[in-house]
Amino acid sequence: MKFIDRKQELSRLMRATRTEGAGLVIVWGRRRLGKSRLLTEWSKQTNGIYWVADESAPSIQRQYLAEALHTAFPGFADVPYPDWTTLLNRLSRDARQAHWRGPLILDEFPYLISGAPELPSILQKWVDREKREGGILLALSGSSQRMMMDSILNAEAPLYGRAEQVLKLEPLLPGYIGDASGMTSPQALLDFYTCWGGVPRYWELATPFQDRHREALDELVLSPLGVLHDEVERLLRQEMPSAIPLRPILDAIGLGARKSSEIAARLQTHATSLTRSLHQLQQLGYVHREVPYGENEKRSKKALYQLADPFLRLWFKAVAPHRGSLRTAPKAARLKLLDNDWAHLRADAWEDLCRLAIPRLGLFNREWHTAGRYWQGNQSEWDVASSSLDQAAIILGECKSLARPAGQVDIERIVRDLMAKRPPSTLDGGNQILEYVIFVPELGKTAVSLPANITIVDGNRIFTALKETEE
């Protein structure tokens, strides 16, 4: 798949390359998000050296790195290096003679730390010296988020606070699905996002199937031979230390437990014992903590937990509970399992997209805060809620993931349902303007009439908005 998006991340990396005295860059995030691809693109544009660590012994790792450096500094691999300090000192000398400033990119850095726990302290002194003397720019990257946080991003870590750029990669914006796949239909784009979220590796595997999402899911995920059939277990196991002990919480959420008390009941434990594990899963990007729009995120006691990624939600619905039956089930039976949950998964994905797009749509000629979902006691629930930056207006929205173009009859029904709801009492201060929005993936060709205070946003507008903007 061609290199797409990541304009802001690449811009920041290029800026670090041009900055005098820049010494360290950190790039991290969960697996499959394209960190290595981003770093190799950066390396190509800057004449840098990109190297990937593995799980070998430290002496072998140093030899492998020396071989990579040998291409830029002839003779570098001709001698053994008894320790990391010796290798780094030699690199500094050779780089100065060649007037080379890097970047030197060490990917999968946690593998190096696991074999040489002293390495962060050694690099601390080396980075400080190189920065002071205008030497090499070092970039460290890793997919083991727990080790990256503990060994580099923790306030007690030797390298903490030394990086000019700390980039945590997030999933690709959904607006780039069309660029990656060539698809243009908003229905097909929504189906694709429902399956694969914003994970570049999944996009790469799925794009050959185009809009045949059911075939792609069966081939890649549902079939026991599919490359993504064991994906979640693989992701958790590859964390350092392994995140497999956190798996039961994900299973409980996947089965429908949303409150911490419900998750605890599923696991037959106390809710207070889950606090740390839920926080870890949020840091790892596997779980999202949601509070009613307008409430304080830290103090709210109404928090609900959801699997953060569409692919995770699909995997825990269609694969995790059915591992045994999927082993022997024919294709038709596997697809039936998928179909049982597809409408719900698609609806959740559509709501995600609509909320994500709100600050980018320029609705009602205003700027809007990040949107959320609203629920409170016996009050009406709203799929989308947001307030304008000037606090003069509130958006309330309904998301309908219709698999067909929405016609006048559909819109009239949605309008009736929308107007039957009461605005949130805790958001409406009495003076704000209430603006209503209906979100549907596709509109029919027949013109639709609406009340003056309601507007429609379709999938074309959503996916157009969800592309990266300039910093």
Pairing type for strands 49-52 and 104-107 reads parallel
Q: What is the pLDDT of residue 102?
A: 87
Chain-wide mean pLDDT for the chain? Answer: 91
Q: According to DSSP H, which parts of 99-227 are helical? A: 109-115, 119-132, 145-148, 177-181, 186-196, 200-206, 213-217
In tens, the pLDDT along 196-209 reads: 999 999 999 999 99
DSSP 298-314: TT-S--EEEESSHHHHH
Q: What is the pLDDT of residue 131?
A: 87
Q: What is the pLDDT of residue 239?
A: 83
Q: In this model, does residue 428 exceed pLDDT 60?
A: no
| Structural domains in the chain plus CATH codes | 7-168 (3.40.50.300), 175-341 (1.10.10.10), 353-465 (3.40.1350)
Q: What is the pLDDT of residue 329?
A: 95
Q: In this model, does residue 130 exceed pLDDT 60?
A: yes
Choice between 301 and 333, residue whose per-residue pLDDT is larger: 333
Q: What is the pLDDT of residue 134?
A: 81
Across 167-181, 341-355, 419-433, least confident range: 419-433
Q: Average pLDDT for residues 409-413, to the nearest whole number?
A: 91
In tens, the pLDDT along 339-359 reads: 999 999 999 999 999 999 999
Q: In this model, does residue 470 exceed pLDDT 60?
A: no
Q: In this model, does residue 430 exceed pLDDT 70?
A: no
Across 46-55, 147-156, 325-334, least confident range: 147-156
Q: What is the pLDDT of residue 156?
A: 80
Task: Establish whether the linkage from the previous residue to 103 is cis, with ω within 30° of 0.
Answer: yes
Pairing type for strands 304-307 and 287-290 reads antiparallel
Q: In this model, does residue 434 exceed pLDDT 80?
A: yes
Q: Rounded CA gap, 344 and 286, in Å?
A: 19
